[in-house]
């Protein structure tokens, strides 16, 4: 190894074989940090209870990465037993609070336990193992700085303890806001106060706080107005140019629009399906000429929406695909569908998947409120934004992409230079600059 290579300990729960978009951010940091003089040392879990597993990602862990995996106590296994769910049922898609809906007594009790005792989250059982192993790693590997990736927010608490004990500088990274976010359990007064206290202590103690979308930083300042703004850094998600294979274009002449990712609760295709059903009924698009592909993990009500649609035979549902295959599907599409949750604060949300869509260079139909996604679409000229409830706007976006395809028009021309700013390599270089800035200069 290069003599002057500095070492950063990356504390992350989501790491291969975990699947899902959250993994990509850390995986690409690990891949590209050495180009900027930082050797990544990863502290993660041995056998995580991941919402999605993707064994194929294990092959993407770079050879230069030093990875330590520790034990973890996973209470979700207990939760499944208590609520009579299958031992391998994913807990996120069906378990994010959706308001209303009947809960069984066991689910009610489990929800109470989760919101009262699992603070900041159900990965708390990793804390003792990660601390003892982490201190040992810091000594053995001669670590210079620490970086944590949240959620789960337990990783930030682990990093804070390690940084304090070993007297090391630490950057706390966030892919989502902490308290008061869509996926946060509804806590009663006392546990909610503890959660907020832990959150504030992390924001105050970390040398820098970096966030994957600007709304997270706004949220932090709303919660802690006197926090030093200089320590809040926006490091967007991105795409890895090396992830896109050469794919022979399809020749079947069918306009194919593809969605990849998860959908449940407030993130659903209801209005999109209605818009396209109407277009087909009114013969504004040829039924036989379209194909809608939905690839990923969907809640029961979303599966029902897709199954009961009058577009039945034009819809393909494919459950979770390995990351490389899912990228291939983006390249095989003629347009990509993006759906942002209909919820308070959703105008700030920028899902990591958007950047993967950008990298594919296909026109994007984004069902999103005016806000961060709309700004990104305008900046990159990558697609059309329609409000989620506006059927006419969705139809006009669909027709524009459809005609783009049928008449080989080039009305939608993405701005490649604007898109390249979101290359993972570029973003990792910015993280390395931040790491350089927090370590004592010899």
Same domain for 120 and 51? Answer: yes
Same domain for 414 and 434? Answer: no
Same domain for 167 and 204? Answer: yes
Per-residue model confidence as pLDDT tens for the chain (442 residues): 455 799 999 999 999 999 877 899 999 999 999 999 999 999 999 988 888 888 989 999 999 999 999 999 887 666 666 666 666 665 543 344 444 445 677 777 777 777 787 888 889 999 999 999 999 999 999 999 999 999 999 999 999 999 999 999 999 999 999 998 867 778 888 888 999 999 999 999 999 999 999 999 999 999 999 999 999 999 999 999 999 999 998 889 999 999 999 888 888 999 999 999 999 999 999 999 999 999 999 999 999 999 999 999 999 999 888 888 999 999 999 999 999 877 777 788 888 889 999 999 999 999 999 999 999 999 999 999 999 899 999 999 999 999 989 888 777 889 999 999 999 999 999 999 999 999 987 6
Say how far apart CA 259 and CA 315 lie, in whole Å: 11
Same domain for 375 and 233? Answer: no
Same domain for 132 and 256? Answer: no
The domain of 300 spans 241-420
CA torsion sign for 271, 272, 273, 274 is: positive
DSSP H or E run through 283: none
Same domain for 158 and 283? Answer: no
Same domain for 341 and 432? Answer: no
Same domain for 104 and 194? Answer: yes
In a domain, 187, yes or no: yes
Say how far apart CA 66 and CA 9 lie, in whole Å: 9
In a domain, 376, yes or no: yes
In a domain, 51, yes or no: yes
Same domain for 416 and 428? Answer: no
For 3, counting Cβ atoms within 10 Å of its Cβ (0-12 exposed, 13-18 middle, 19+ buried), the class is exposed
What Cα–Cα distance (Å) separates residue 58 from each residue in 65, 67, 274, 289, 300? 12, 11, 40, 38, 29
Same domain for 351 and 271? Answer: yes
Sheet bearing 315-318, strands edge to edge: 315-318, 290-295, 255-260, 335-339, 364-367, 383-386
Same domain for 234 and 273? Answer: no
What Cα–Cα distance (Å) separates residue 21 from each residue in 11, 14, 15, 94, 288? 17, 10, 11, 18, 33
What is the phi-psi region of residue 229: left when phi exceeds 0, alpha when psi lies from -120 to 50, beta otherwise? alpha
In a domain, 70, yes or no: yes
What Cα–Cα distance (Å) separates residue 410 from each residue in 286, 362, 363, 383? 21, 11, 10, 12
Assigned token pair, 66: 């030093």
The CA-to-CA distance between both ends of the chain, in Å, stands at 20
Report the Cα 308 to chain-centroid distance in Å. Answer: 29
In a domain, 1, yes or no: no
CA dihedral 66, 70, 76, 78 (to 10 degrees): 160
CATH of the domain at 10: 3.40.50.2000
Same domain for 129 and 224? Answer: yes
Assigned token pair, 142: 């001669």
In a domain, 332, yes or no: yes
Give residues with Cβ within 8 angstroms of 35, minimum separation 6. 425, 428, 429
In a domain, 343, yes or no: yes
In a domain, 109, yes or no: yes
Say how far apart CA 13 and CA 149 lie, in whole Å: 8
**Could you tell me the pTM of the whole model?**
0.83
Structurally, the chain folds into a number of domains equal to 2
């Amino acid at each position: 190894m290069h003599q002057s290579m500095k070492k950063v300990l990356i504390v992350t729960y989501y790491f291969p074989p975990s699947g899902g978009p959250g993994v990509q951010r850390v995986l690409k940091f690990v891949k590209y940090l050495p180009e900027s003089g930082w050797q990544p040392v990863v502290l993660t879990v041995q056998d995580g209870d991941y919402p999605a597993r993707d064994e194929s990602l294990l092959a993407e862990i770079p050879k230069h990465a030093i990875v330590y995996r520790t034990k973890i106590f996973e209470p979700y296994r207990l939760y499944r037993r208590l609520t009579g769910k299958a031992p391998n049922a994913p807990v996120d898609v069906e378990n994010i609070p959706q308001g209303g809906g009947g809960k069984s007594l066991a689910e009610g009790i489990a929800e109470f336990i989760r919101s009262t005792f699992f603070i900041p989250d159900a990965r708390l059982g990793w804390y003792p193992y990660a601390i003892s192993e982490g201190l040992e790693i810091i000594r053995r590997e001669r670590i210079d700085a620490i970086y944590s990736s949240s959620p789960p927010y337990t990783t930030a608490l682990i990093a804070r303890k390690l940084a304090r004990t070993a007297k090391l500088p630490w950057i706390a990274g966030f892919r989502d806001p902490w308290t008061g976010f869509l996926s946060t359990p509804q806590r009663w007064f006392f546990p909610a106060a503890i959660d907020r206290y832990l959150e504030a202590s992390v924001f105050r103690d970390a040398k820098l706080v970096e966030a994957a979308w600007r709304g997270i930083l706004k949220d932090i300042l709303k919660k802690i107005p006197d926090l030093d703004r200089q320590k809040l850094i926006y490091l967007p998600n991105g795409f890895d140019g090396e992830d896109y294979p050469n794919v022979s274009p399809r020749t079947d002449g069918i306009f194919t629009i593809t969605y990849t990712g998860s959908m449940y609760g407030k993130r659903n295709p209801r209005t999109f399906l209605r818009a396209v059903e109407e277009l087909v009924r009114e013969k504004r698009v040829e039924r036989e000429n379209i194909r809608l592909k939905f690839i990923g993990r969907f809640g029961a009500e979303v599966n029902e929406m897709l199954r009961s649609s009058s577009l039945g035979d034009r819809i393909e549902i494919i459950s979770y695909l390995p990351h490389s295959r899912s990228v291939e599907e983006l390249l095989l599409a003629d347009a990509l569908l993006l759906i942002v949750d209909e919820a308070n604060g959703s105008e700030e949300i920028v899902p990591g998947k958007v950047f993967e869509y950008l990298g594919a260079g296909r026109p994007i139909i984004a069902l999103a409120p005016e806000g961060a996604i709309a700004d990104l679409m305008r900046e990159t000229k990558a697609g059309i934004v329609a409000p989620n409830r506006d059927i006419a706007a969705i139809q006009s976006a669909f027709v524009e992409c459809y005609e783009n395809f049928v008449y080989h028009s080039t009305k939608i021309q993405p701005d490649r230079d604007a898109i390249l700013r979101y290359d993972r390599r570029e973003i990792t270089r910015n993280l390395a600059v931040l790491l350089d800035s927090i370590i004592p200069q010899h």
